Structures are given as structure tokens and as C-alpha cells.
Amino acid sequence: MATASPATTATPPPQAPGQVPWIVQLYGTALGKKYAMAISGILGLGYIVAHMVGNLKMYFGAESIDGYSEWLREGLLYPILPHTVMLWILRLGLIAALVVHVHAAYALTVMNRRARPTGYQSERHYVAADFASRTMRWTGVIVLLFIAFHLADLTWGVEAVNPAWEEGAAYANLVASLSRPPVAAFYLLANLALGLHIYHGIWSLFQTLGWNNRRFNSYRRSLAIGVTVVVIGGNLSFPIAVLTGVVG
């Protein structure tokens, strides 16, 4: 008789009360990791929306976006905090969110692979699982690679990635970078991947966090579509605007 054996011990060894904070215990479980992914995803989404809105300033000319980038570095909450401190608080928060999001995704993917070691031998026909939801891991990896490239390109100004980069010249830097068609193409591709990722993510986070109410459930999909179209539409417009000479 074949019997299934649990991949991990069903009952964790008894822990002295208060020894491990409950939030750490929660992260030790798969449902806890999903929570962490949803919350870190919300932080990431907030950043992505703000990033797109801020970049719209490139349509008002070099002065507008250069001034904005200067303010982000020097002016955030100044003089309550010294220069760049608030920027670093935000950066560290985003880095923490990204680390948690990627770690949880990795751990859950391992768990899911283990849950079906032998796949279906006949063709699987999906009814509800759409392309976006089934490619989250791949779109996530594309976005991760893009973040690394994007930082090297326009934040750090790595010589090999963006030779024309100059400190403080946000407008000139982005025009120099995006006027290279292969780079612009990568930006477009990465944003399409990001679009698929946040489209499923926005809908999914409501389920994960248990924000489910039959009166509002039908709006969750519309919200996911709306945010995705606005954010990704804005992001896609930037490389296109540079390539067509609208910006530059």
C-alpha cells in the first residue's frame, strides 16, 4: 500500500512560549510567507506607482525632472531629517521588501515543486489559471534582472552599462540610455513582464490577505486591470517618447 509521508514534520517541536516571536513563526509557514509576499508586494506597488508618476516630469523638460530628482535626494523631509536620510530609509525599506518577496517566492516554489514531483503525463487543460498567474515566477525573474540593469544604468551609472551617465543629470542620462534601441526594447519588455506580474499580484493580494467580501469582490479584477494599465502605460510611454524624439 502506497502511503504519502509529509515532506516536513506535521507538528513542529514544542517551543517554549515567547521563545520565537510569533511573526517569525508565522513566516516559517507557507501561509505566513504568502502574507509576507502580499505585504512586500504592496510596498513594491506603491513604489512603482510613485516612480511612474514622478517620471512623468520628463514630459515637462529637463529642469522639471532634474529638480525632482534633486529633491528626492536632498529635500525629502528636510530639514526634519538631514539630507538623503529619508531617501535611504525608503531605499532600505524597499530593499527589505524585495529580499522578503524573493525569498518567500523561492521557498514557496521549492515547496510547490515538491508537492508534485511527477507532473501530468498527458496534456493539461487550464480553465481559470491565466497566463499571468502561471508565469509569475518568470515575470518575477525578468523584473529582478531588470531592476539590476536599471540601477546600473541610471542610478549608479556603471560605465559599461551607460557610458554617458553623469551625476545629477537625470534627464540627460535617461535620454542617453533610452535612445539606444536595444536598451529601449529591454525596458519595454521588462515593463510588459512587470505588467503581467502586478496584474496577477494586485488581484492575488486580496485573496492572500483575506480581504474578501462578496460585495466588493467583483471590483478586485477591475482594480488590477486599472492600476496595471495606468502604471505600465506610463512606463511604456517613456522609452517610446525618447525613441520618437518627443523627449530628448
Partner 1 sequence: MNLTLQVWRQAGPDVPGSFATYEATDISADASFLEMLDLVNERLVLDGDEPIEFSHDCREGICGSCGVMINGVPHGPQRGTATCQLHMRTFADGDEIVIEPWRASGFPIVKDLVVDRSPFDEIIQAGGYVTVDTGQAQDANLTQIPKETADLAMDAAACIGCGACVAACPNGAAQLFTSAKLAHLNLLPQGDAERYERTESMVGVMESYFGSCTNMGECETACPKEISIDFIAMMNKDYVKAKFRNRRSA
CB of 49 to partner 1, least distance (A): 21
Of 43-51, 72-80, 124-132, 223-231: span binding partner 1 (CB under 8 A): 124-132
Instruction: List CB contacts of 111: < 8 A, sequence separation 6 or more.
Output: 7, 30
Separation CA 179–CA 181 (nearest Å): 6
For residues 141 and 150, the answer to whether their CB atoms sit within 8 Å is no
Amino acid letter, 240: I
* Binding flag, residue 106, partner 1 (CB under 8 A): no
* Binding flag, residue 206, partner 1 (CB under 8 A): yes
Nearer to partner 1 among residue 108 and residue 172 (C-beta): 108
Separation CA 248–CA 243 (nearest Å): 9
Nearer to partner 1 among residue 59 and residue 106 (C-beta): 106
Which segments of 116-180 does DSSP mark as H helices, in order?
Answer: 131-134, 136-150, 170-178
* Binding flag, residue 222, partner 1 (CB under 8 A): no
13: its cell numbers:
517541536
Residue from 13, 80, 116, 159 that binds partner 1 (CB under 8 A)?
Answer: 116
159: its cell numbers:
560605465
* Binding flag, residue 159, partner 1 (CB under 8 A): no
Length of the chain: 248
* Binding flag, residue 8, partner 1 (CB under 8 A): yes
* Binding flag, residue 79, partner 1 (CB under 8 A): no
Separation CA 229–CA 136 (nearest Å): 18
* Binding flag, residue 115, partner 1 (CB under 8 A): yes
Binding residues for partner 1, rule: CB under 8 A, are 1-4, 6-12, 15, 17-18, 20, 22, 25-26, 29-35, 108, 111-112, 114-130, 133-134, 136, 200, 203-204, 206-212, 214, 217
